[in-house]
Amino acid sequence: MNQVRLIAVLAGALLFCGGGEDGRAQAPARAFDVVEATIPQLQAALGAGTVTSRDLVAAYLARIDAYDQKGPALNAISAINGSALADADALDAERRAKGARGPLHGIPMVVKDNYETVTMQTAAGSKALAGWVAGTDAVLVKKLRDAGAIVIAKTNMHEFAYGITTLGSLFGQTRNPYALDRNPGGSSGGTGAAIGASFAAVGMGSDTCGSIRIPASHNSLVGIRATQGLASRTGIVPLSSTQDIGGPIGRSVMDVALVLDAIAGYDPADPQTAAAVGNIPKSYTAGLQPGALRGARIGVLGALFGTDAADAEVATVVRASIAQMKDQGADLVEVMIPGLTELIQDRLRGFLVLGQDFKADINAYLAARPTAPVRTLEEVLASGKFHPGVEAVLRGAQAVDSRDTKEYLEHIVKREKLRVAILKAMADQRVDALAYPVIRRKANLIGEAQLGTNCHLSANSGLPAIVVPGGFTPDGLPVGVELLGRAWSEAQLLKLAYAYEQATRHRRPPASTPRRTS
């Protein structure tokens, strides 16, 4: 374990195991099983007084201590919040005095290492930013804290979010709790592995092209990439201002909806969020009903199931999961999007703009943060403090002189053409959502390239998509099914996903991080 990580983990461990501020030993956590516990279940126990937020924080920290660097050594956690127990005590006292702020009051959660936090370093998985602590919380972190959530830790990520296997120079490789020799997806794989292993109630990731949805799929979780502009990016280390968005990863649709309620909304510092005004319901949980699939029309996007023999294993699981939607009363419609195959084949040259965005966006971000140890992408490269696995993409981004080019504008136009083509196909077939595999291949072995992502349909159109557990491959690896909807249709997607989840209950915990008996 590197020194930065060791200091952070030891700080949390001392708080967990040692005495309070006055040196007296703290009472041990009351017996409460946090494994697979949902936010409503935790909130019910807190409200009944059978458990405190301190108990919950201690229980989750104990699981992190047992399984993150020991046992299966998932390597999902990048830093422990040394004030987590104090935060819990304050929220417990507030609950006793005034009642709960809302459904997230006293609920422990984790956030990805690219979210700024005043209590822990923000390094985006890179040695180039090691030790840097931001002066303010990211807007979404502040919203969650204001809602009463307790950020107990930060999670590992693919360095600068520039990859989908969760590997970086600062913290190394995160492991998949369902198969320790495989990756957890990325770039939010630390959050995916942590929530899959019940290191917290829920977590935050960010998605530029699949970085919430792939970890959700690989860890039997729910994840949502909202409509571009629904949630602020202020205080999140950027990869692409065109495509970045933060969002929740959880073990249930309800948990994800509760977090979305807390984070959605306009941020004056992020002009993109102005489009969200008037498009956010009172609550994303209000319409969650088990029968929501009855009468729904689901478009099956066969073009995204793949034709390679290696795609067949995941395709079989997803086809079966979509058939289960029909069993719940949905009408299934095969949908074709004219020109989609060509757009997919041409996506790197056609509309995937993150390579052109990154240099300008990271330079602007660092320039606005004078305490950061590096000020430009060029300085990151000059420092040599990055993983060899991201060197090529970093150098490629550095070679981009400007976004003010004909090529870049052509890419933006192609993105709009994709969005219009998707919406027209949905309108012509009168479907409520499109269904397809999140990623056509199961989690790859560590060290091998992860192929088969379908991340671009949502990321490059700006349309929302939700992932829900769809089952497992014969060798026990999770597979998610993705549902994509029209702009601002998050409530509808959550309804459909909830109905499917309640009917199938595909989610199951990994064997590598069992319940603890101590």
Q: Which residues are marked as active site?
A: 112, 187, 211
- Over its C-alpha atoms, the chain yields an Rg (Å, rounded) of 22
β 331-334/297-300 pair status:
parallel
d(CA 217, CA 442): 9
Task: For the beta carbon of residue 350, count every other beta carbon within 10 angstroms.
Answer: 20
Amino acid 410 reads E
Residues 6+ apart with CB under 8 A from 45: 32, 51
- 475, 313 Cβ separation under 8 angstroms: no
Which two three-digit tokens encode residue 38?
A: 């949902």
Q: Hey, is 298 helix, strand or coil?
A: strand
d(CA 7, CA 448): 31
> To the nearest 10°, the Cα dihedral for 266, 105, 120, 378?
-20
d(CA 210, CA 494): 18
H-helix segments, 237-346: 253-263, 312-327, 340-345
d(CA 200, CA 214): 19
- 328, 500 Cβ separation under 8 angstroms: yes
Residue the block writes with tokens 């949908």? 335
